[in-house]
Amino acid sequence: MAALFKARRVIGLCLSGQRRMSQLAELPETHQLLRQTCRDYADRELLPIAARLDKEHSYPVKQIQELGAMGVMAMEVPEELGGAGMDYLAYSLAMEEISRGCANTGVIVSVNNSLYIGPILKFGSEEQKRQWITPFTTGEKVGCFALSEPGNGSDAGAASTMAHQEGDEWVLNGTKAWITNSWEASATVVFATTDKKLKHKGISAFLVPMPHPGLTLGKKEDKLGIRASSTANIILEDCRIPKGNLLGPRGAGFKIAMQTLDSGRIGIAAQALGIAQASLDCAADYAQKRTAFGTPIGKLQAIQFKLADMAVAVESARLLTWKAALLKDSNKSYTKEAAMAKLAASEAATFCSHQAIQVLGGMGYVTDMPAERHYRDARITEIYEGTSEIQRLVVGSHVLKEYQL
């Protein structure tokens, strides 16, 4: 009997999201217009330079400024603070279209929106928002998010970076690893342990401007993919910041990090969707043009089955992403759906880019075609902002909770 009631609650949870699912069949007009605008921008301004950005490892300064002018660098931020004042569904659509043009530009946009501005918007004071968000809405400045360390990634609770108070200042010591945007950033959200005895409840979040005395950057990592965005260590040695740079309450750092990553996951899912869609576009286009056995290979079943599998993977991940976004916009719990979206989308990205190279054959292996770049760019989506294994842990524990086991 009890199980029936629990099951009904589960169905209730699903239906409340489904009431808005009809929106997914046909997006609202503004969202369609937004999607089209971002797609036009990506096609005209990002697609032509994506290969060069990857080859030269160069940061797209002009494009980030243009995206800032369009409002894309601060989509959730209210207009009074300089943002676009849009919802998360709009953000997911924009992220997908931009990443479809250039996955690099996508990750730069995502880190600024979800990981840097996100926690300040949610946990910052009005003064902090004005100081740390408004200058970062125009594309002139970008921010970054420093949680991972050389000693812990998935194990975020074991933060060994320390922060202690000295008079009116906080003093930070430690090293952060794998920080995207680090070399271009003008500020970062840093997580450090303020009370070691409280374990993960003793971590706090801080706002640190960059450059700053006591903060140095490690060398830029030479990565497999998303090479135009900088990834480096941030080293803090007696880095002193004013007392007012504490973000949120003392000890709330872990909670802030987890909630930030929850919404960041939707953005990364959208980025992975963009890469997956770009791979599908590349493969489908090639299948129509390349002939073998006397026919365009798109007419051969082996290729058609591949394209079908790719299309199903992308579309299902897309619907999961939109659902997570809609739940967040309705202020409903969305942690499980965000994890599912990120898991599905990143695995769709690696699957589609793998199959795209297969469809292109030898051409897929050379840099003349974008398939190899999509393959390299897709791989990281299964790792950052929560590995696929962590996503599975999140989903699994939610499923168990729903059945009260």
Residues lying near other proteins in the complex (CB under 8 A)? 29-30, 33-34, 36-37, 40-41, 66, 69-72, 75, 79, 84-86, 90, 94
CA distance 49 to 23: 34
Nearer to other proteins, 28 or 249 (CB): 28
Please report the beta strands in 291-341, taking only residues with DSSP state E, as ranges in sequence order. Answer: 291-292, 295-296
208 DSSP β-pair partners: 188
Cβ-in-10-Å burial (0-12, 13-18, 19+) of 211 comes to exposed
100 close to 93: Cβ distance less than 8 angstroms: no
CA distance 151 to 203: 16
Query: Least separation, in Å, of the C-beta of 370 and other proteins?
Result: 18
CA distance 132 to 126: 10
Nearer to other proteins, 134 or 387 (CB): 134
Query: Least separation, in Å, of the C-beta of 85 and other proteins?
Result: 6
At residue 240, φ and ψ (nearest 5 deg) are -105, 130
CA 304 to the chain's CA centroid? 31
Q: HSE of 34 in the Cβ direction (CA atoms, 13 Å)?
A: 23
Query: Least separation, in Å, of the C-beta of 117 and other proteins?
Result: 15
186 close to 131: Cβ distance less than 8 angstroms: no
- Single out the catalytic residue among 149, 385, 389, 402: 385
Query: Least separation, in Å, of the C-beta of 135 and other proteins?
Result: 18
164-175 exposure pattern, b = at least 16 Cβ within 10 A, e = fewer: eeeeeebbbbbb
Query: Least separation, in Å, of the C-beta of 277 and other proteins?
Result: 16
Nearer to other proteins, 66 or 169 (CB): 66
Nearer to other proteins, 93 or 360 (CB): 93
Query: Least separation, in Å, of the C-beta of 84 and other proteins?
Result: 4
Nearer to other proteins, 40 or 237 (CB): 40
Nearer to other proteins, 40 or 56 (CB): 40
* Catalytic site includes residue 385: yes
342's CB contacts (< 8 A; 6+ apart) are 265, 266, 268, 269, 272, 381, 385, 386, 391
Q: HSE of 70 in the Cβ direction (CA atoms, 13 Å)?
A: 19
Cβ neighbour number for residue 401 with a 10 Å cutoff: 10
183 close to 220: Cβ distance less than 8 angstroms: yes
Which positions are catalytic? Answer: 385
